[in-house]
Amino acid sequence: MALRRPPLRVSLGLLGLAFTAALVLGAWLDARATAHRAFLAETAQIHDGILQRLKAADQVSTSLGTLINSSFRVDRDQFRVFSEQVLMRHRFLLSTVYVPLVTDAERQEFEQQQHGNGFPTFAITDRRDGNYVAAGRRDRYLPLLYHEPFEPATASLIGFDLLSNPTFAQAIEYAIDTASASTAADTAHTYWLFKAIYAGKAVPEAREERRRAVNGLIALRVDTRYLLQDAVHGHEGLDATARLHTAAGAVSVVALTASGTGRSGYGRFMKALTARDAVRIHGQQLELDFTRRLHWGDLDYKLVVIAAVTGLLMSILLAVAGQSIYLRAREREHRHHEIQRQVREKTVELALEKERAQVTLASIGDGVITTDAQGRVEYLNPVAEQLTGWSAAEAHGRLLPEVFSIIRDDTRKQADSPLQAYLDETQAHELRRDSVLVDREGNEIAIDHSAAPIRDRENQIIGVVVAFHDVSHERQLAQEMSYQATHDALTGLYNRRAFEDRLRDALLDAKHNGFVHVLLYLDLDQFKIVNDAAGHVAGDELLRHVSALLLAETRRSDTVARLGGDEFGVLLHECAREEGLKIAHKIRQVVHDFRFVWKDRSYAIGVSIGMVMVNGDSDSLSTILSAADAACYAAKDKGRNRVQLFQADDAELARRRGEMQWVTRLSKALEEDRFVLYAQPIVSLLSQMKEARYEVLIRMITEEGEIVPPGAFVPAAERYLLMPDIDRWVVHSLLNWAAIHCGCAFYTINLSGESLNDDNFLAFVLEQFERTGVPPEKICFEITETAAVANLSSAMQFITALKKRGCQFSLDDFGAGWSSFAYLKNLPVDYLKIDGGFVKDMVNDPLDFAMVNSINQIGHAMGIRTVAEFAESEEILRRLAEIGVDYAQGYGIGRPRPLEEILVPLRNVTAGWGR
Amino acid sequence: MGRFIAMLCLLTLSLLAHSDDAAAARCLYVSSYHAGYEWNDGIERSMGPILQGHCELRKFYMDGKRHLDPAFAEDKARQAKALIDDWRPDVIIAADDNAAKYLVMRYLRNVATPVVFCGLNWTAEPYGLPYPNATGMIEVGPIEPLVSEVRQVVKNPRRAVFLSADEITQHKEYAIARTVFGKQGMAVTHKAVRTMAAWEAGYTAAQKNADFIIIGNYAGIHDWDPARAQKHAHDHARKFTVSYLDWMAPFSMLTMAKIADEQGEWAAKTAVLILEGAQPASIPVVANRRWNMFINLRLLNKARFKLAGDIVRKAIKVE
């Protein structure tokens, strides 16, 4: 494109300058017009000033005439007083004159009268050759009588007959005839103003009457120059010219006034302002010419300057705009060329890129399908052809769902086609991992796929690209891992984690949808016997059989899980209470009827079932499980092989739930080391034993610092298998303490049955002895009769191992449990602790006394020393001593005290008891 | 440089010459009376400022009020003439009748030295004025309004006493008064006195002999006591008293007085005009026109006369 570069800028600049010139000219003319208006306002003001002064002159003449005419006699002094005021106020008035009319007949008397009045040389005079001489005879005279200001220089005017001057006479005649003022030129810049005085109080109407009635006149001498100067005063630089028109109408005198201050520097080319005006009033007429020469400083240049500045700015802006237009055009041209070049380059690049993309698409492992905006297939890469079973040619033009048919892996339902969502722009790019591609032959291939819209330059969607790849192998592995994570490897049932997930869903379902479900918590009875008797393989087999029974007795929609060991959980979905009870009883019955045969031996088992309703009132997952667990064990406590329905107001269940709450507290106390050891003295009843003996007891310290006795938490600890940890804490703490403080004493430590069954517990104890250096001979472990019998083999192993190190053992609560003396033969214990239940009433109850005595005797018979608990009185102690019990402990001897306090020397409580 | 110095010298000489010319103008003021006399002081008061800058002013007093003897006046005139001859003034201002009578008329008539007279009572005719070298202002009292007011106050006035000092101007004044009042049918007799007691006696007598009293000038009464005169006038005031001299207003009920200042002002302006080249003959002899009116309410109330309201309002009140 050919650009007219310089002309455009220059043209716009010249246009701006022309505009500037026009603006300046306009502003200049406006300024001049403003000056002209101001000039006219000035002339109008001067006109008004002159008019007011002429009016004032007229009024003065009228007033003086009235004074003369209205007063009986006005002497010179009265005339002087009046005139002085007038002349002082109106400076343009040079003189005030009173001229009486004197007839020729009156002349002599008139002159003599003036002589008598102090004017001895008075005469009516004419002016001849510059001198005042006695007037010639005429019919009448108008001699000047009063003249103010009265000065020697003007005194010669006294007596001058005005009628002797033709000019004056003409003006006076006019004044008389018209009864108005008339004027007559005097000098170049003064004139006389005449006004006639008529006899009588009114001015005669007719001219003839006026001529007869006139008796004098008032004359005022007016200084035209002063008049103009006074009016023009304040208007600097203004020239004024006044021409007087007399009564006869002819210009008789010219007065010039120039008030210019002589300022220099007026514009040579500035045309002067001129105006002509005229002031007319009752016989006075002044024609005025005004001239004002304009100086440069007379004009208001603000507008001109503003116009010039504005115009120049606009010129600059236009020039800049022109330059900008030129630069933009040049830039557009350059850009156009650049775009063309880039288009060519991009076209080449695009062709290469397309080829590269096609090669890439052909070589990548993912399948790629592109469609147009209507979802019709445009392209398939080789992998896509392979996976879909469609060739690119066959697929071209077909709708995408026909070629790329996918279903959801989890629901097996037709999956949403990615096409429409992307075309509608309602879905963002997303990788889907749950799809299964159904190829042209109907084969299913697990795929991950994603789709994205294809947009043009205007961001309009012109198609969709779908990418996918075969994930069959990965998905199979994932499914297997998922199965293993949620299923019990032994039975194939759901494991605890999966069961809890299902239960959580059921709980939400109950809360949100109002459905009612049933949770069954199953614990096999006598499983341990089978397991111990027939071995773990048999036990595992039994569990698989039971699992099959449970699956058979539940619905497909129900969930059956192995929760651990011989515990199972069944979640009956959407199941009413009665239906749940029915199923639970059926399960219990089926299990009870089931006979497990292993190596030709038949084993009968049972199952205790706790049942809990899962409904909208249910609390949390843990609460439900806790309730089911409690109900299950309640069933066990009630005789096993039972179904126990959990009810919130069931006291037994509440107690068990309370125990469960202890689990949390105990675990936390263990973590925070909030336990303390107490010791209760054990004294010998048979001899003076110097060695101090103590049964070490444990107390828990609550978070609030309160001491909790073991009876409150030990049952729960036993129930929930926390006793091994507690026993470890006791052994650890006591041996630490004994190593430091009182290695000389003898301590007994209670051990639970669970600890005996703990394979690691023995090693732990041995390690503690090793670590602390406490002599094992100073430690006696107490095992309850029940625990020992229930874990007989473990107990035997444990006792044997420690006794070899020197430890002693005591069988606790003997008589309260199995009380099978046969066990004593196999248990190498050193002490029998007679159950306190017999001891405390032995004084009053012969049976108890007999029991105590029998146990004591048997023990002694077996070489085992005896210890009586609950020795709470002197009488008990005495009787115990009588029957030969070796040791006693109880409140009668000493209450349990913190371990630190036993450092105080023990009182010799046995002094009075020994034999 | 030389040209500049020459111009500077010329300018200096010109200024000196101008100064000499101004200093050469001389004005001699010859008063008929003495300094301190009210009428004379009035003339001087207005004359001085006008003449200042125009001429050097010297004053000569003939002291005619305190020395009534004509010989004294004649002697003074001779002294004045000697002064004139010696000093050679450019213009002579002669005030009042003694100067006109004993000096101007006798020694300055038709001489080269211009004379401006003033303060001549009523007429210059007795002195042959005007002369070609003399002009001036005649002193005319407002006698006509005074007569008019007498007629308003005094019922049928027929007799009047002109009580004054026995002095030349007062005789002249009396003559005028007699003429003016005579024209109105009123006979005026002159009581010219030379002492205070005589004045008192004349005043007292006039209370019986006249319908009204014209209080003339006291100047010439050598023992004049204003307070005494005032008290006497008050104590015996029964008849209407008038005067044409402002300084006699304390002793007169109604005074219409000439103004001495006007005389001095006119004389000074005329002198300046003459010094500027005007001929005395071209300046007409004129009469004064200014006068003031005074009333003495104390005397009026004592005599129980009541003047017209407009007169009371316009007049200057004196005690």
Summarised one tens digit per residue, pLDDT across range A643-697 is 998 877 666 666 666 666 777 788 888 888 899 999 999 988 876 656 788 999 9
A-B C-beta contacts closer than 8 Å? 58
Nearest CA in chain A to B291: A77
Helix count (H) and strand count (E) of chain B?
A: 11, 13
Mean pLDDT value of segment A54-82? 85
Q: Please state whether the predicted TM-score (pTM) of the whole model is above 0.90.
A: no
Say if residue A10's pLDDT is above 80: no
Say if residue B249's pLDDT is above 90: yes
Tell me what pLDDT residue A263 has: 44
Element (H, E) at A230: helix A224-232
Question: Which of B135, B146, B279, B289 to mutate to probe the A interface, most A CBs <10 Å?
Answer: B289
Mean pLDDT value of segment A342-350? 85
Say if residue A56's pLDDT is above 50: yes
Tell me what pLDDT residue B165 has: 93
Are residues A118 and B266, on separate chains, in Cβ contact within 8 Å?
no
Chain B residues in contact with A76 (beta carbon < 8 A): 289
Question: Which of A72, A129, A151 to mutate to probe the B interface, most B CBs <10 Å?
Answer: A151
Mean pLDDT value of segment A63-82? 84
* Nearest CA among B164, B166, B172 for reference residue B202: B164
Nearest CA in chain B to A150: B266
Per-residue DSSP letters for B283-294?
S--EE---EEEE
Chain A residues in contact with B269 (beta carbon < 8 A): 151-153
Are residues B289 and A120, on separate chains, in Cβ contact within 8 Å?
no
Are residues A118 and B125, on separate chains, in Cβ contact within 8 Å?
no
Better-scored residue on pLDDT, A731 or A315: A731
Q: What's at B154, amino acid-wise?
A: V
Mean pLDDT value of segment A351-355? 81
Residue written as token pair 């089931």: A594
Q: Above pLDDT 70, what percent of chain B?
A: 92
Are residues A120 and B282, on separate chains, in Cβ contact within 8 Å?
no
Say if residue B264's pLDDT is above 90: yes
Question: Which of A73, A75, A77 to mutate to probe the B interface, most B CBs <10 Å?
Answer: A77
Mean pLDDT value of segment A339-355? 84
What is the edge-to-edge ordering of all strands in the sheet holding A190-198? A146-148, A93-100, A214-223, A190-198, A182-185
- CB of A131 within 8 Å of any CB in chain B? yes
- A905 pLDDT band, cuts 50/70/90, is very low
Tell me what pLDDT residue B12 has: 45
Are residues B289 and A152, on separate chains, in Cβ contact within 8 Å?
no
Tell me what pLDDT residue A651 has: 64
- CB of A75 within 8 Å of any CB in chain B? yes
Say if residue A906's pLDDT is above 50: no
Are residues B269 and A118, on separate chains, in Cβ contact within 8 Å?
no
Q: What's the complex ipTM?
A: 0.80
Are residues B284 and A121, on separate chains, in Cβ contact within 8 Å?
yes
The model's pLDDT over A507-520, given as tens digits with 9 standing for 90+, comes to: 999 989 889 999 99
Task: Work out whether the CA dihedral B228, B232, B234, B239 comes out positive or negative.
Answer: negative
Say if residue B17's pLDDT is above 70: no
Are residues B266 and A152, on separate chains, in Cβ contact within 8 Å?
yes
- B311 pLDDT band, cuts 50/70/90, is confident
Q: Cis bond leading into B142, ω under 30°?
A: no
Mean pLDDT value of segment A212-231? 88
Question: Chain A, 103-122: which have a CB under 8 Å from a chain B CB?
Answer: 117-122
Are residues A155 and B286, on separate chains, in Cβ contact within 8 Å?
yes
Say if residue A739's pLDDT is above 50: yes
Tell me what pLDDT residue A97 has: 94
Mean pLDDT value of segment A401-428? 74
Tell me what pLDDT residue B14 has: 44
Secondary structure class of A416 (helix, strand, coil): coil
Per-residue DSSP letters for A170-213?
HHHHHHHHHTS-EEEE-SSSEEEEEEEEESSSS--SSHHHHHHH
Between CA A853 and CA A849 the distance in angstroms is 6
Q: Above pLDDT 90, what percent of chain B?
A: 62
CA distance B286 to chain A (A): 5
Better-scored residue on pLDDT, A430 or B69: B69
Are residues B289 and A150, on separate chains, in Cβ contact within 8 Å?
yes
Tell me what pLDDT residue B196 has: 95
What tokens appear for A871 in the block? 């020795």
Tell me what pLDDT residue A903 has: 65
* Nearest CA among A416, A371, A373, A363 for reference residue A392: A371
Tell me what pLDDT residue B8 has: 46
* Nearest CA among B147, B216, B156 for reference residue B182: B147
Nearest CA in chain B to A76: B289
Q: Are A783 and A764 in contact (CB under 8 A)?
A: no
Between CA A90 and CA A911 the distance in angstroms is 157
- A766 pLDDT band, cuts 50/70/90, is very high
Tell me what pLDDT residue A476 has: 86
Tell me what pLDDT residue B21 has: 42
Q: Above pLDDT 90, what percent of chain A?
A: 22
Between CA A78 and CA A150 the distance in angstroms is 13
Say if residue A256's pLDDT is above 60: no
Are residues B130 and A120, on separate chains, in Cβ contact within 8 Å?
yes
Question: Which of B286, B290, B310 to mutate to probe the A interface, most A CBs <10 Å?
Answer: B286
The model's pLDDT over A265-315, given as tens digits with 9 standing for 90+, comes to: 444 567 788 888 888 877 778 888 888 777 777 777 777 888 888 888 888
Say if residue A322's pLDDT is above 50: yes
Tell me what pLDDT residue A851 has: 86
Tell me what pLDDT residue A517 has: 94
Please name the member of A75, A120, A159 whose beta carbon is closest to the beta carbon of B124: A120
Are residues B287 and A151, on separate chains, in Cβ contact within 8 Å?
no
Are residues A75 and B289, on separate chains, in Cβ contact within 8 Å?
yes
Q: Are A874 and A685 in contact (CB under 8 A)?
A: no
Better-scored residue on pLDDT, A909 or A820: A820
When the pLDDT of each residue in chain A is averaged and rounded to a whole number, the result is 83
The size of chain A, in residues, is 915
